[in-house]
Structure 1
Amino acid sequence: MRIKPVRERNPVAVAVVGLVVLALIGLGAYRVDSLPFTGGGTTYSADFTESAGLSEGDEVRVAGVKVGEVTGVSLDGPKVKVSFKVKDVWIGNSSTVGIAIKTLLGEKYLAVDPLGNAPQDPHERIRASRTTSPYDVTQAFNGLGETIGEIDTEQLAKSFETISATFKDSPPDVKSAADGLSALSKTVSERDAQLATLLKGSKQLTKTLANKKSSFETLLEDGNLLLGEIQARRDSIHLLLTGTKNLGTQLTGLVQDNNKQLGPTLDSLGRVTAVLVKNRKSLDKVLSLAGSYSRLVGNTLGSGRWFDNYVCGVVPKEYVPAGTPAGPECKPPKQQGGR
């Protein structure tokens, strides 16, 4: 059977089939985690009394190890339904699930404690009796601040004073307790403004930390990168220090090997230096005379390719013929100019 080439087929049908295939490939890439071979995992659900800030995409951990992520948080009547997917981990029919605090900035994760003698049915929701939510300190402070702000502290103090007066004839233990409550009410009344300011500041600090969460994360990530780079360069630094140590060892050996030759040489050099120092005046005199000598030699040879000299007293006086007029006294000429 002959297969019809693509170029002979209807181009509209080929284009439609190609678009459908591309759409299926894109959908498969987007839902790769849900595919049976490339993704996978089992999805469970649990009931919570409150979400406690848990959101979709948060981690799911077993014994501190990430095994999945939260896939959904929704309200289901008076309870909160939390769906999560895990992979390659066993969840028992008595497993407990809790929302735990991940960081000081309020991030959460889902902690699973796999218990039970049979696997948990994925279609059966984990009851609220097997789930727990964290105690949110931030919300507690905010609620405390709002509650204290609504309390009439003066009326509260009067109420405690009335109670104390009512129990004044009671046994000593009851009277002491009432007096203590009265003193407590007065203290709260006097410190009302300070408590309000403190709680207001705590609320502002919480908001600031929440707004700066990305900056803290960036700082921690940069510190992690720095430590990783130092660790990566550890071998190079180790080789540098080792090479420096070996160089010092080689130089020490070189000095020790040549110590017998360098010692006599340095001693001889010291003796020569001592002789030169001892004859310093003579050397200064020789150098000064050498300067004049060099100047005369330069004058002699500086006129051209001949010697410019003055010869006096070559013929003795007794050999001079009689009657020869006496010349001037034999003295060397005076130096003039450059000659």
Structure 2
Amino acid sequence: MTVLATGALAQTLGAFSGGGTAYRARFTDVAGVLAGDDVRIAGVKVGEVTDIRLVDGATAELEFTVDPAVPLTASTKAKIRYRNLVGQRYLALSEGPTAERLRPNGLIPLGQTTPALDLTVVFNGFRPLFTGLSPQDVNGFAYEIIKLLQGEGGTVTHLLERTASLTTTLADRDELIGRVITNLNQVLGVLDQRDAQLNETVKQLQLFVSGLAADREAIGDAIANIGGLAQATTGLLHDARPALAADISALNTLTGTLQANTAAIESTLANAPERLRALTRTASYGSWFNFYLCDFDGRVIAPDGRELNPVTFHGTNAKCSS
């Protein structure tokens, strides 16, 4: 008895299909429809989709079965509707004005079928509303929109209830929205006061960019030449580095020598003006100098302090005696 009761309940809920009369319907788009999806009339499951195929290279054909107790007519209309937001579809059938019976395996033509809604287009149109709702409200509101656009009755009230949720949310954020508008108004006011400067800045930027575009070839050549110069400078420094290091070392030695002989250098510089004046007076008689060797005393001092080969000379010229 339990098994029989479970089977009866499952058959009532539509979990199992007991076969039925086969029919066909052609659509321009059956995206998302799968074999095994429900076939419904007035929301009640009366069959299921059994096959999907492409015919004529551009038309989709659904094959489905319907309970034999539910006859279809030649004017029956077929629509693909969303079962839920997950993307499940079902085939909805509705009777037309003609009472002529549709024979088994009969075809419902394109003129009597309607494909599913394009949810991308629908949701893009309602995107501004969705931004103010919570994820739960978005799901419920979107489902009510789909049901309403698919022509299902009794959904306008629910749609208005979801819309009321949006208005309530916006009302709760009235202070925040007002602050944003006030701040935006201040920003726009500052921009308006600086309109002339902003306009001039844009013009100058445009001239600058235009100038760069006009000189792009020269700029490119300059960048290439800079690269060559950097490479040549690198090579020059690499070649000159040893000599430069030796010069710096020698300059350091020279500086030490000058520092050690500071007194002699200062004395020489102090006596140099008087000696230069005397030399100038001597040279004023012509472009030559007369020198007379009167005395010479030469000594060679060995490292141990001894004098080697001392030489002494005293001139007898009259110039030397004056």
What TM-score do you get using the length of structure 2 for normalisation? 0.32
TM-score normalized with structure 1 length:
0.30
Task: Name the structure where strand makes up a greater proportion of residues.
Answer: 2
